[in-house]
Structure 1
């Protein structure tokens, strides 16, 4: 790890200054800067570097707009202007679709449209290319329909099912163990159960309902999240099969019915 004197030397070089010119910029003597970056001569011929005081560090930060975390070894970014701004989650979708009467439509995102949606979710021209329709049961919010892709949520949702999501206005509104469609920079569009750690750890933990071992839990940083939709309704072409207990009960009822019929005949 670089020492504080090396950090200051790097700042001096960044602005193409010498020690004297640098000292004038921050309002200290040239000797002060020399003692920090080069050290004071000692009787044994060595040099002992002086630790900069609070006033000197503050002057450097103010004069050159230095990122304080850079000086103290917590960041490699020297200038505040170079720090990438962390996007905050938007309380409203970037684009909505509406009828001529002003009522919001449900926009449909098929599996084929997923790749384009990742780049075009905030582009009105792209959203207009997607099918949209009105759902009478979905009111008081903005809703979007996504086609399920893959088998990570099997037992709850199946490949090709349609899930209807209501836009989540704040990450803090996400409820643990509920199902959401999460759109993120790195993972695209995913359907998962969510554990919310957005406030204390700035992340979400995503879980799959399919427990065959091929879909481990993983986490996603809050700053990577672009949209979140809470699943409120779904449509499926999968007709559930009766469970084994129901099968046996139905078979038993059938046998009892046959026995009763025979008894009545006699």
Structure 2
């Protein structure tokens, strides 16, 4: 039987450098000597103690199994965040979860539609090919090749002039760092939170700032670990024709925006 390659040393060096920590700084936080950490990173310690594995697992919030079996340097930022959020249920050996899809008879990817009634089930079944196969699916012309698309219904008026009840086609985003500031996206959130359609800006700490087109709604931030998937806006379908805003609506939004900026300026002065 071919021995399995162990990535522990390379992984802890990768994770340390990802957090921009020196060997001295990490060793001090873990209660190790710098020489021992250096030996672990370079594979010079052939039999690390179980306590060593647990220390690194607790510090980096990644399971011991992943530290040993997965070459973390080859993963996207999204997949690293999934591991840090405890989503090891999507791993089998060295295979990290990839997006589940369905294809037509010509082996072309379908566009799956997630109805309102299917939202709750989507959070638990989004990685299950059998669940996706039960969703309505179709093909759309002129979609750029090489990407995966899915359609979601939106509710509420936070993204006007895109009307409530529209169906938004989103392009799957694997690497969140590629999202340009202010990009409209569908976010699939964990727990009992609804799917949200917002302008997304990735912040330096990894949090996501969410803004609405409708200025009556305050922006807010969600943590990366609260997010399951992000789908970048591609297009939308609606039976309604967006109506032009009245002068009164424009004035109300302007007053709301000015008031928000004043509050932000006061907060900066404190």
TM-score, scaled to structure 2: 0.56
Gaps of 5+ in 1: 1-52, 246-266
Larger radius of gyration: 1
Q: Does 1:106 align with 2:117?
A: no
Q: Deviations over 1:202-221 (max 9, x none)?
A: 21111122222xx3322222
Distance in 2 between the 1:124 and 1:175 partners? Answer: 30
Q: Does 1:193 align with 2:187?
A: no
Question: Which structure 2 residues correspond to residues 217-256 of structure 1 after superposition, within 5 A?
Answer: 217-242=219-244
Query: Which structure shows the higher helix fraction?
Result: 2
Equivalent residue for 2:215? 211
Q: Deviations over 1:157-212 (max 9, x none)?
A: 22210111011121111111110011122434211111112xx3121111122222
**Preserved CA contact (<8 Å) 2:161 2:243:** no
Q: Does 1:173 align with 2:178?
A: yes
Query: Which structure shows the higher strand fraction?
Result: 1
Helix, strand or coil: the match of 1:65?
helix
Distance in 2 between the 1:226 and 1:149 partners? Answer: 19
Aligned residues: 182
| Residue number among 121, 141, 148 corresponding to 2:154 in the alignment | 148
Question: Which structure 2 residues correspond to residues 2-17 of structure 1 after superposition, within 5 A?
Answer: none
Q: Deviations over 1:216-249 (max 9, x none)?
A: 322222233221111111112221334558xxxx
Q: Deviations over 1:89-126 (max 9, x none)?
A: 99985211211101111101111111111111111111
Distance in 1 between the 2:113 and 2:32 partners? Answer: 58
**Preserved CA contact (<8 Å) 2:163 2:242:** no
**Preserved CA contact (<8 Å) 1:152 1:209:** yes
Distance in 1 between the 2:97 and 2:141 partners? Answer: 21
Distance in 2 between the 1:121 and 1:138 partners? Answer: 22
Q: CA RMSD in A?
A: 3.8
Distance in 2 between the 1:189 and 1:135 partners? Answer: 23
